[in-house]
Chain A
């Protein structure tokens, strides 16, 4: 899977005498042109739309070109709670997903290294959730935690839960759903990294009388940091824009809306394109800042 490839950064040594010229252009241009037309210009469209003003005719869903920077002020003041919530949910879910995933990645990559069958089975199980629709998985959790479900009733019976407590619609349910859905995104890059960990380095640590925990902290963990960073980006970014989990029809409630929900509602329901675009532009800008910090650290060749 690409998540593995993304984290593993296959050694791309320059091969042979590099020819340039027409062949390279012929190979590159169609794809790059496609991305320019359907990835870059849409971002420009988004910026232009975010500055549009309501149509002079007053028709709903019609906007005129403009330079309404006030759209940004409106978006930030109107949706501050959702922006703050998205950020907190994404940080919280990413940190917990990391804590859950690291031991799994370690077990598959290091402890199962000499058992290919076990390793194959475990890797298949990690990606298994990808093969059932994202929406069906999330909806399954909704039903498992719904108000009259077995889980909630048992919690009430043993007294952990009060009689009128509920799970669906709470912040807990949303963060839980986010963590569940993104564990594989965190596990795979860390696995891909630990899989290449040279165990003789770990042995050297213990030969020099370092305790297992010290060996882990001083050798294994620092070496696996690139995998941790890839996993963090691959988890944090999709979570920050997700709106399925926090939707009221899935695990969310009236007070769990995230940035994605705001964009969806403004763009697709009330046709307030400028506000939806302004929020999207701000989200994208944040991500670009994060990514460029990453690029400055490791260069562009390691990106792909």
Chain B
């Protein structure tokens, strides 16, 4: 067909423009991380590398970033272990209270953060617990757990039970079967679940604000700073995290593409 069709170009153009729109705040944050600002980081005053080289001149930004890392690493570890166990049980075992379990796991995904945040804060108040890093970690394990279950469960479902049976036929103990067969096969799913939990925890603000007391995480620092203007060092941290995350995503995609090619060429 040689007929010029508008429809052929309309959709790609639309997609291109929307993606441009999606990138605007990212580009803006990145550009203003190089701004030679004095007090507030609103007007462009010229290019400098100073913000990147001396991030910790803004001790608050650095400390908050450190807290966010600590919370995310701890919460991710706990919720990945608990979530993986649940995911295996959901696919491999039959048990009575199955739909109640499904519902209990789904509800946190469907609850607005402000409700979970206020609920936990009310409970900590009732218990008389002091809010701090521990309460933030408790909260983050809670809201990332279901995401881990969903992600790992998809991987367990693709696993061939015959492989484990083969292990048992060869007189491997249940522990050996798990660590030598099941776990290595589940690892990609577990890793992507952990990455997701980490990302969710690191970027969480609402639940954190309700349960952190005087402890600052990076998003909480940004929220508090917004009233008087966010320092460029915060843009540096944001841009840095962005670059690392994108690099990981690209590495994972390239690796899986290469694997596919290898399989095809065999």
Contacts and interface: CB of A to CB of B under 8 A. Distances in A.
A104 to B, nearest CB: 6
Given A20-B93, A133-B203, A134-B219, A45 B242 contact: no
B171 interface: no
A183 B230 contact: no
Contacts of A66: none
A46 B105 contact: no
Contacts of A125: 19, 22-23
B29 A126 contact: no
Given A2-B147, A125-B22, A116 B257 contact: yes
Interface residues of B, number: 99
A15 interface: yes
Query: What is the predominant secondary structure among interface residues of chain A facing chain B?
Result: helix
A263 B118 contact: yes
Contact of A104 (B15, B102, B145, B234): B15
Interface of A: 1-2, 5-6, 8, 10-16, 18-20, 23-28, 30-32, 34-36, 38-43, 45-46, 48-49, 100, 103-104, 106-107, 111, 116-117, 120, 122, 124-144, 146, 180, 183, 212, 233, 237-238, 240-244, 247, 249-250, 259-260, 263-264, 267-268, 273, 276-277, 280, 283-284, 287, 291, 295, 299-301, 303-304
A120 B105 contact: no
A47 to B, nearest CB: 9
23 contacts: A12-B90, A23-B93, A26-B85, A27-B85, A27-B88, A32-B104, A38-B123, A39-B108, A39-B116, A41-B123, A42-B122, A43-B115, A45-B126, A103-B14, A127-B249, A137-B26, A139-B230, A237-B110, A260-B112, A277-B118, A283-B112, A283-B115, A304-B153
A300 B142 contact: no
Contacts of B93: 18-20, 23-24, 27
A141 B95 CA distance: 49
Contacts of B94: 14, 18-20
B92 A32 contact: no
A273 B119 contact: no
Contacts of A304: 90, 102, 105-106, 146, 149-150, 153
Interface string B82-106: 1101101111111100110111111
Contacts of A250: 226
A240 B112 contact: yes
Interface in B8-53: 11-12, 14-15, 18-19, 21-26, 28-29, 32, 42
A284 B157 CA distance: 32
B86 A32 contact: yes
B213 to A, nearest CB: 11
Contacts of A14: 94
Contact of A280 (B119, B147, B219): B119
Nearest to A8: B154
A5 B150 contact: yes
Nearest to A282: B115
B105 A263 contact: no
B102 A300 contact: yes
Contact of A10 (B15, B42, B102, B154): B154
Contact of B205 (A180, A244, A263): A244
Contacts of B226: 135, 139, 142, 247, 249-250
A144 B25 contact: yes
B110 A291 contact: yes
A240 B110 CA distance: 11
A189 to B, nearest CB: 12
B114 A46 contact: no
A131 B123 contact: no
Nearest to A301: B102
B222 A131 contact: no
B211 to A, nearest CB: 10
B166 interface: no
B161 A15 contact: yes
A23 B237 CA distance: 44
Contacts of A45: 119, 122-123, 125-126
B181 interface: no
A240 B113 CA distance: 10
A136 B114 contact: no
B138 A38 contact: yes
Contacts of B32: 140, 143
B114 A283 contact: yes
A243 B206 contact: yes
B107 interface: yes
Given A132-B239, A243-B206, A260-B206, 20 more contacts: A10-B154, A11-B157, A16-B165, A23-B93, A27-B88, A31-B82, A34-B142, A35-B142, A43-B119, A100-B18, A122-B19, A124-B250, A125-B19, A131-B246, A137-B25, A143-B32, A180-B22, A244-B205, A268-B210, A300-B103
